[in-house]
Amino acid sequence: MRPPVILPGATLGVMGGGQLGRMFVHEAQRLGYFTAVLDPDENSPAGLVSHHHIRAAYLDAHGLDQLARLSAAITTEFENVPAEALAALARRRPVAPGAEAVAIAQDRAREKAHFTACGVPCAPHAVIETPQQLQAVAGELLPGVLKTARLGYDGKGQVRVASREQLAAAWDELKRVPCVLEKLLPLAAECSVIVARGADGQMVNLPAQLNLHRGGILAVTEVFEGAVAPAQARQAVEAARAVADGLQYTGVLCIEFFILDDGSLVVNEMAPRPHNSGHYSVDACDVSQFELQVRALAGLPLPAPRQHSPAIMLNLLGDLWFRHGEAEVTPPWAEVLALPGAHLHLYGKLSARPGRKMGHLTFTGASSAQVRELALRAAALLG
């Protein structure tokens, strides 16, 4: 059954005040909603632009009470929000995605079990929680990548290992927390698919996105005809939809995939929220991933997004602010904005740090060749 529709004029709440929350807030406000953000940081990017900003820890009972009072429905913008907080909020208000789906996405072992249950292949792996499990690891998983089951992001909390000795040392280095050892796979490319699913099961998706990572952090996303080969794009979309249906998911979900050297597709991980690789949708699609998040939360119709322009997104990391040495310098925005089809998004973070996501640039244009040319010129300007 369709839950009641929450119409513009109501307040939508979000757990977390990072850039994803900020872009959610912008979209919600454009559609005529009021917004409430819960984030302990007084300068959080979303808190700075929201009608209400509750400065509290994610498990603070008073803060959660305030958020529930203010909001007609609540979503999340980061996957490490405590699932208990979402469960507590769900006793008072509609919460999407639900605590259970978020709890699965927070844990690499549970996530992989879910992929397998949905019939979507993932990397050969073993769960390591005890010294016995460490000893029993099959030799064919080496060389591999040891990843903490929880709290890893942007390549943090993972170590590449080539031998049993290195594996044991890596587990020590990761403080023997529960981990997953994955076989190191020969990657030809990486892609992702974003789906939005309503509480009634209606689902739409954005096109498959080609992702390039640098140092474990997303650097570039390309989305145009053929960026991901059609056969793999079709498979990725099908797999993403199966994963969302299997979770009875409500909201926006991103599923990341590896494309292997032999052309086969393997699911990597999922994020229960909009995703960095979907930022291009703000400028290149008629409905963005953030509008889909608002609509899914409010129980509004989910039209299939149409991409009206080829797109390339470049992430802007804090390193750009230090490219001439120690002192912080402003990147050459005027030159970059002189390029046609350049859409600059800065997240309002008050200080830059190397590796910190400060913003992104999306290029749209008449053809994939044109957006490539523009992205290359921007990259040269940004040095």
Q: Which residues does the annotation place in the binding site for ATP? A: 108, 147, 152-158, 182-185, 190, 213, 268-269
| Cβ closest to ligand ADP, residue 116 vs residue 202 | 116
Q: Give the binding-site size for ligand ADP (rule: CB under 6 A).
A: 17
| Cβ closest to ligand ADP, residue 12 vs residue 267 | 267
| Cβ closest to ligand ADP, residue 213 vs residue 372 | 213
Q: Write down the least CB distance from residue 223 to ligand ADP, Å.
A: 17
Is the C-alpha dihedral spanning 160, 162, 165, 168 positive or negative?
positive
| Cβ closest to ligand ADP, residue 107 vs residue 190 | 190
**Restricting to residues 159-218, which ones interact with ligand ADP according to CB under 6 A?**
182, 184-185, 187, 190, 213, 216
Q: Write down the least CB distance from residue 78 to ligand ADP, Å.
A: 12
Q: Write down the least CB distance from residue 335 to ligand ADP, Å.
A: 31
Asked if 253 touches ligand ADP (CB under 6 A), the answer is no
CA distances 109 to 113, 155, 182, 331, Å, are 6, 17, 11, 41
**Restricting to residues 138-157, which ones interact with ligand ADP according to CB under 6 A?**
145, 147, 152-155
Asked if 269 touches ligand ADP (CB under 6 A), the answer is yes
> Which of 235, 226, 292 is CA-nearest to residue 259?
235
Asked if 107 touches ligand ADP (CB under 6 A), the answer is no
User: Which residues, other chains included, contact 91 with Cβ-Cβ below 8 Å and sequence gap of 6+?
Assistant: none
| Cβ closest to ligand ADP, residue 82 vs residue 124 | 124
Asked if 268 touches ligand ADP (CB under 6 A), the answer is yes
| Cβ closest to ligand ADP, residue 254 vs residue 336 | 254
Which single residue is written with the structure tokens 């300068």?
A: 43
Supply 147's token pair. 């990843």
Q: Write down the least CB distance from residue 320 to ligand ADP, Å.
A: 21
Q: Write down the least CB distance from residue 188 to ligand ADP, Å.
A: 11
Q: Which residues fall in the annotated binding site?
A: 108, 147, 152-158, 182-185, 190, 213, 268-269
Nearest 10 degrees: Cα torsion 276, 280, 282, 287:
-100
Q: Write down the least CB distance from residue 304 to ligand ADP, Å.
A: 27
Q: Write down the least CB distance from residue 259 to ligand ADP, Å.
A: 11
| Cβ closest to ligand ADP, residue 256 vs residue 291 | 256
Could you give the string, one character per residue 337-356, with x where binding to ligand ADP holds by CB under 6 A and - elsewhere? Answer: --------------------
Name the residues that contact ligand ADP, by CB under 6 A. 123, 145, 147, 152-155, 182, 184-185, 187, 190, 213, 216, 256, 268-269
